[in-house]
Structure 1
Amino acid sequence: MADYRAEEERDEFCNRQEGEKRMIVQPTSLEDPKLNKLKEVLVEWINKTLKFEHIVVRSLEEDLYDGLVLHHLLRRLAGVQLHVEEIALSTEAQVRKLELILTALNEALEVNEEKAKWNIKLIHSRDLLSTLHLLVALASRFQPDLVLPVVSVEIVQCEVTKSGIKADKQTEFITFQSNSSAELEKESNKECPIDELFKLEAHKIETVKKAILHFVNKNMTSLGLNVTDLDKQFADGVILLLLIGQLEGFFIPLCEFFLCPVGSSEMLHNVTLALDLLIDQGFPVQSVDPQDIVSQDVPATVKVLYSLFKRHKNK
């Protein structure tokens, strides 16, 4: 199947204009486990980022070419709202939409359009290599703690000349191993302080919980709220959202969450919103499952509150 796709790309490229270039991934590289792992990580990252928008991506090649997902990523990550149609059905409409989106993405990434390894034509033609380059750039810019596997692929760079197709084999790096990513990978293998805490004696756990509870109530008094049960009162997400707003200094519109949630689905909505806000603000809570908070899982709840305590305890 991979061989057939590569041949199909080459045949299509033969009809291009003179001087035009295209990089085609070798079939053997398409089957590389590291490449597949990178795709899985990026798909998971996109779905987690857009979870609140009810968008699910299954294929990087098939789900990003029309601009819908990229538009939502732009709005979610960079806070840029473009006035474009939500769903573009025709090719012309999709290309127009992509032009606006990629221009805004390049500005957010501070990437010169001429030096970018992606463009409208490549993204719209479902080119995997350019799509990966764009997504890796976005992840590196907006979530630098996301650990990406180091991936390189063998490519054939094709160029249309007067005498036919000129092909040159090269190695293309999609991700690199930087010092910072190496450190992050080491850190990700270390146990979280809260995970270590819950291995200690019960009285030590209670001491930490009391310190966090005191911290929470000190910051909630201005709202007239008092928390007495750390294990249960954060399950519906309401107090957590209000606490985040107090500490981070922004107002969360009441229309965005359920102030008096009824049922687990509304509670899950609130907690998911809270965790998304924390992740956007750089808190290391990606590993926390919103359902665990709703289910009154104490370590998960304390882990989230500890991240707030750690940043704001001296303010």
Structure 2
Amino acid sequence: MSLTATSAKMKKDESFLGRLGGTLARKKKSKEVSDLHEEGKNAINAPMLPTGVDIHPEDTLLEENTERIMLDPTSRENLKFKDLLKVLIDWINSELEEDRIIVKDLEEDCYDGQVLQKLFEKLSGRKLNVAEVTQSEIGQKQKLQTVLEAVNELLRPHGWTIEWSVDSIHSKNLVAILYLLVALAMHFQAPIRLPEHVSVQVVVVKKREGILQTAVVTKQLTSTTEMMMGRFERDAFDTLLDHAPDKLNVVKTSLITFVNKHLNKLNLEVTELESQFADGVYLILLMGLLEDYFVPLYNFYLTPESFEQKVHNVSFAFELMQDGGLKKPKARPEDVVNLNLKSTLRVLYNLFTNYKNSE
């Protein structure tokens, strides 16, 4: 190829590359402008959106004057929030073990109403008139409607604020699902310990006049154990502690005298009701002495270290009480382990009234 031809080809290539570069530059510039416009629109429409929250395209496809609620990702990583999820999942699986239902994810496993139906039926002892399996969205929402109507009918007279709906549950709104499960656990006095003061932040996306508006709202899922337990029926010990605290020491002295009368047979002595029964060991040994049998050591933890081991011991003591013909204690094992005085008094007073004449 001649020098002249080579030079001409180089110029032609340079000209082509120049045009290509100009086209790419214009496209890049156009994309930057588009991105900047989108960023500006988002900044206007979502001024309160916390860092790290992703609004997916489907979240923006809202009808006018409707809203969508999303959990802030930082709340999902909160350890107390994770603890609440685990406690509720373990509780559901324990309740529905006979139905061979295993829940792993509350959003994915509760939205269609099947698990909620079985759980409500188990807790309430009431059979709901719903189809067993529903695959269609209409069928799922009909089942949810029936289940939630039954739940609301049960809870609303007791002062519960209804924080859930068919649409929120079916759209896998985790906060709504948690509100519902916490309410059921508290109402039916589930034998679990709900973590205290669990709050989450949610992003509320609303569409007004075609524009998306966002706000961050804090939702409180649990309060203190005392306040949560306060929904339950008050008894003589509530009255005693609230209105006659001067008589409390008299009651405690009587109970200490009663338990030591029997525990002294094993060279054991109680001086503090709240702390010395919290691990369940003395309760188990006391039941053996009152019913005149030896409790094999492999049935409980003689020197429990973890919270779970202590709860196991107290729960086992409660089983022994029921085997002896006593009613199921009103207290929860978790409350006894947590040094809740009223719960411990209730358990011991129940033993006192049934065995006060035992030698």
User: TM-score when scaled to structure 2?
Assistant: 0.54
**8 Å contact kept, 2:193–2:334:** no
Q: Could you say what secondary structure the match of 2:68 adopts?
A: strand
Q: Is 121-130 or 15-24 further displaced after alignment?
A: 15-24
Moved over 6 A (4+): 187-190, 305-308
Q: How does 1:127-142 map to 2 (within 5 A)?
A: 127-142=173-188
**8 Å contact kept, 2:68–2:205:** yes
| Amino acid of the structure 2 residue aligned with 1:174 | L
Shift of 1:38: 0.8
Candidates 213, 220, 231, aligned match of 1:166: 213
1:195 alignment counterpart: 281
Q: How does 1:6-17 map to 2 (within 5 A)?
A: 6-8=54-56, 11-17=57-63
1:152 alignment counterpart: 199
Shift of 1:189: 7.8
Instruction: For residues 73-129 of structure 1, give each alpha carbon's deviation from its aligned partner in whole angstroms, at most 9, with x where no partner exists.
Output: 1111122211212221222211111100010011111269x9521111111111111
Matched, 1:58 2:104: yes
User: How many residue pairs get matched?
Assistant: 233
Q: Which structure has more helix as a fraction of its residues? A: 2
Distance 1:283-1:13 versus aligned 2 partners, 3 A rule: same
**Identity of paired residues, percent?**
29
- Provide the C-alpha distance between the structure 2 equivalents of 1:7 and 1:286, rounded to a whole number of angstroms: 40
- Provide the C-alpha distance between the structure 2 equivalents of 1:286 and 1:179, rounded to a whole number of angstroms: 12
Distance 1:175-1:108 versus aligned 2 partners, 3 A rule: same
Structure 1 or 2, whichever has the larger Rg, is: 2
* Structure 1 gap segments, 5+ residues each: 199-204, 214-228, 249-277, 288-304
2:145 alignment counterpart: 99
Distance 1:314-1:21 versus aligned 2 partners, 3 A rule: farther
- Provide the C-alpha distance between the structure 2 equivalents of 1:308 and 1:143, rounded to a whole number of angstroms: 18
2:93 alignment counterpart: 47
User: TM-score when scaled to structure 1?
Assistant: 0.61
Matched, 1:27 2:73: yes
1:90 alignment counterpart: 136
2:288 alignment counterpart: 209
Q: Could you say what secondary structure the match of 2:140 adopts?
A: helix
| Amino acid of the structure 2 residue aligned with 1:196 | Y
**8 Å contact kept, 1:212–1:309:** no
| Amino acid of the structure 2 residue aligned with 1:78 | S
- Provide the C-alpha distance between the structure 2 equivalents of 1:119 and 1:44, rounded to a whole number of angstroms: 24
Matched, 1:69 2:115: yes
**8 Å contact kept, 1:78–1:108:** no
Shift of 1:48: 1.7
- Provide the C-alpha distance between the structure 2 equivalents of 1:193 and 1:28, rounded to a whole number of angstroms: 35
Instruction: For residues 206-263 of structure 1, give each alpha carbon's deviation from its aligned partner in whole angstroms, at most 9, with x where no partner exists.
Output: x8624224xxxxxxxxxxxxxxx6658xx9xxxx89x769655xxxxxxxxxxxxxxx
- Provide the C-alpha distance between the structure 1 equivalents of 2:126 and 2:209, rounded to a whole number of angstroms: 44
* Structure 2 gap segments, 5+ residues each: 1-50, 231-272, 300-318, 336-346
**8 Å contact kept, 1:6–1:25:** no
Distance 1:39-1:311 versus aligned 2 partners, 3 A rule: farther
Distance 1:173-1:208 versus aligned 2 partners, 3 A rule: closer
Q: How does 1:115-134 map to 2 (within 5 A)?
A: 116-134=162-180
Shift of 1:54: 2.5
Instruction: For residues 284-310 of structure 1, give each alpha carbon's deviation from its aligned partner in whole angstroms, at most 9, with x where no partner exists.
Output: 4679xxxxxxxxxxxxxxxxx999856
1:179 alignment counterpart: 226
- Provide the C-alpha distance between the structure 1 equivalents of 2:103 and 2:205, rounded to a whole number of angstroms: 30
| Amino acid of the structure 2 residue aligned with 1:81 | K
Q: Could you say what secondary structure the match of 2:55 adopts?
A: helix
- Provide the C-alpha distance between the structure 1 equivalents of 2:222 and 2:198, rounded to a whole number of angstroms: 5
- Provide the C-alpha distance between the structure 2 equivalents of 1:231 and 1:5, rounded to a whole number of angstroms: 55
